[in-house]
């Protein structure tokens, strides 16, 4: 029988070496990190994979790799080395592709880390053992693995929606869905023995992906979850909001415009609320 955990440990060692190289050599780091502009315009598709071998620091690396090793044991034992590698790298690709879709219009967006791959390994393991208890190093509590997985998925969805912080929630969610699908493909009996777990984890992700594909405004507008998919209704609401945005005089308009431009320079266009974006459009059109 194949020794469980060996491939996960090997990946952790290789990732540690490449992470060390990246932290020491900024040119190496920049050449292999996930970067939307280089991938879409420069066709540097290798970055989809190579970014998983880089981390922003040793805490980031340790968290990902300890999780990988912990959950790779059961997957390697049940699926074997080859299928485990397919789950790991397939989940990495799935996570990167979702990040690429969400940030397709943000050419300067970049990311690093194996979170997508690790998320796939984690969710695949939960499918196999949904009733196992998981404990946390920092918080001394235990919860069933299927509850943890569901919370992880919901947190990732709300993280993508809010776009706050410096966490690659898109990679987490894309990797998680890929891990679920590959685990079911490699062990179809899960659809019989653990169908409720498969549906509980997969359906929220699929529903969210359908929502953002059909209505991209969900990713742009704060507190908007696609209450309507009617383009006409949305345009009416947008027009009504614009009518409420009144600027008293030219001096005030210039001061407001400068404030918005300074905010963009410091934190990027996504830091603006929907109301601020509409205000920016109105001010620039008045110039």
Which residues are identified as catalytic? 115, 172
* CB neighbour list of residue 57: distance below 8 Å, 6 or more residues apart: 23
Residue 78 · residue 128 · CB < 8 Å: yes
How far, CA to CA in Å, does 132 sit from each of 74, 125, 126, 145, 146? 12, 10, 8, 6, 8
What burial class does residue 12 get, using C-beta atoms within 10 Å of its C-beta: 0-12 exposed, 13-18 middle, 19+ buried?
A: buried
Helix (H) or strand (E) holding 192: helix 190-193
Tell me the C-alpha to C-alpha distance, in Å, between residue 160 and each of 6, 18, 51, 99, 205.
Answer: 33, 28, 19, 9, 12
258 Cβ contact partners less than 8 Å away, ≥ 6 residues apart: none
Q: Does an H or E element contain 143, and which?
A: strand 142-144
DSSP character at residue 35: E
Angle at 95 between CA 67 and CA 87, to 5 degrees: 60
Q: Contact, 95 vs 172, CB < 8 A? A: yes
């Amino acid at each position: 029988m194949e020794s469980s955990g060996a491939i996960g440990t090997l990946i952790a060692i290789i990732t540690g070496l490449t992470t060390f190289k990246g932290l020491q050599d900024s040119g190496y780091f920049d050449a292999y990190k996930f970067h939307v502009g280089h991938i879409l315009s420069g066709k540097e598709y290798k970055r989809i994979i190579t970014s998983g071998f880089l981390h922003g620091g040793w805490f980031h690396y340790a968290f990902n790799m300890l999780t990988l090793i912990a959950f790779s044991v059961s997957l390697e034992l049940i699926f074997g080395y080859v299928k485990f590698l397919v789950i790991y790298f397939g989940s990495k690709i799935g996570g990167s592709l979702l990040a690429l879709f969400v940030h397709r219009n943000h050419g300067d967006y970049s990311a690093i880390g194996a979170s997508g791959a690790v998320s796939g390994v984690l969710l695949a393991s939960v499918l196999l053992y949904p009733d196992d208890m998981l404990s946390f190093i920092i918080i001394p509590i235990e919860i069933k693995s299927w509850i943890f997985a569901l919370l992880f998925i919901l947190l990732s969805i709300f993280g993508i929606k809010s776009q706050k912080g410096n966490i690659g929630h898109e990679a987490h969610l894309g990797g998680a869905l890929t891990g679920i699908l590959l685990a079911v493909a490699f062990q179809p009996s899960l659809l019989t023995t653990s169908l409720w777990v498969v549906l509980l984890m997969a359906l929220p992700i699929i529903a969210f992906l359908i929502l953002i594909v059909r209505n991209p405004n969900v990713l742009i507008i704060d507190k908007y979850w696609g209450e309507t998919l009617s383009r006409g209704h949305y345009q009416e609401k947008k027009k009504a909001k614009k009518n409420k945005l009144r600027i008293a005089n030219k001096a005030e308009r210039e001061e407001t415009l400068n404030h918005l431009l300074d905010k963009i320079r410091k934190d990027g266009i996504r830091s603006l609320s929907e109301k601020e974006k509409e205000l920016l459009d109105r001010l620039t059109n008045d110039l």
